[in-house]
Amino acid sequence: MGRRKIEMKMVKDRSSRQVTFSKRRTGLFKKANELATLCAAQVAIVVFSPGGKPYSFGHPSVEAVAERFLNQDGRPKVSIPGQVVDQSWREAKVGKLNRQLNTVLNRLQAETKQGEVLDEAIRASRQKLKHQKPVNELNVDELLEMRGSMEKLREKIRGRISEIEASSSLLLLSKMAVEQA
CATH of the domain at 28: 3.40.1810.10
Q: Which of 86, 61, 58, 59 is nearest to 72 (CA)?
A: 86
**Residue 135: inside a domain, yes or no?**
no
Looking at residue 129, what is its pLDDT?
65
Q: What is the pLDDT of residues 72-112, one digit of tens each?
A: 765 545 555 545 555 666 777 777 888 888 888 888 888 88
Residue 181 to residue 179: CA distance in whole angstroms: 5
Q: What is the CA radius of gyration of the chain?
A: 44
Model pTM?
Answer: 0.39
For residue 38, give its domain range: 14-70
**Residue 86: inside a domain, yes or no?**
no
**Residue 170: inside a domain, yes or no?**
no
**Residue 45: inside a domain, yes or no?**
yes
Length of the chain: 181
- Report CA-CA distances (Å) from 32 to 20, 47, 56, 79: 18, 13, 11, 21
Q: What is the pLDDT of residues 35-46, one digit of tens each?
A: 999 998 999 999
Domains in the chain: how many in total?
Answer: 1
